[in-house]
Amino acid sequence: MSMEESSDLQFLSPGETRLTRLACPECGGALAETVLPQITCYRCHVGHQFGPQSLAAAQVEAAEAKLWSAVATLEETAALARHLVGHTDLGDAAEQQASTADWASGLAESPRSQVGEGRPHGNVEAAG
């Protein structure tokens, strides 16, 4: 029975072993773990389901995507701050915008170099 068809607020469905502190890499919802004699799997309340290795690969991909998103946001912040310094009359706020540009550029450099180097132990997906 799906969530929209039920008034039961319990997360675990029959057969699921426990709720984990892991987030679904697709939607961010909590993952429940089902442990069977031959396999373990993870499922969120939306219905995304993963085996252990596919969950590991999806988590790596989600983490990398979030890091690239953070880098892009920081670089856009720096670009806007530099633009404002050069193209508007900010008065006393110009120094603050220049400082913001330096801060955002510097902060973006670390994840950019780390993610740009690739995964340290090869591709997780290849193990799945």
pTM of the predicted structure, to 2 decimals: 0.68
61-78, pLDDT tens digit by residue? 999 999 999 999 999 999
Run of H or E residues at 85:
helix 52-87
What is the C-alpha to C-alpha distance for residues 83 and 26, in angstroms, rounded to an integer?
Answer: 35
Residues of the chain above pLDDT 70, percent: 77
Question: Phi then psi for 80, rounded to 5 degrees?
Answer: -65, -45
Confidence of residue 7 (pLDDT cuts 50, 70, 90): low
Q: What is the mean pLDDT of the segment spanning 8-31?
A: 80
* CA 114 vs CA 31, 50, 81, 118, 120: distances in Å: 28, 27, 24, 7, 10
Tell me the per-residue pLDDT of 102-124, one tens digit each, with 9 for 90 and over: 999 999 988 888 776 666 555 54
One-letter amino acid of 4: E
Q: Between 124 and 59, where is the model more confident?
A: 59
- Amino acid at site 74: L
Kindly tell me if the per-residue pLDDT of 3 is higher than 50.
yes
The more confidently predicted of residues 91 and 56 is 56
- Give the Cα separation of 74 and 112 in Å (integer): 11
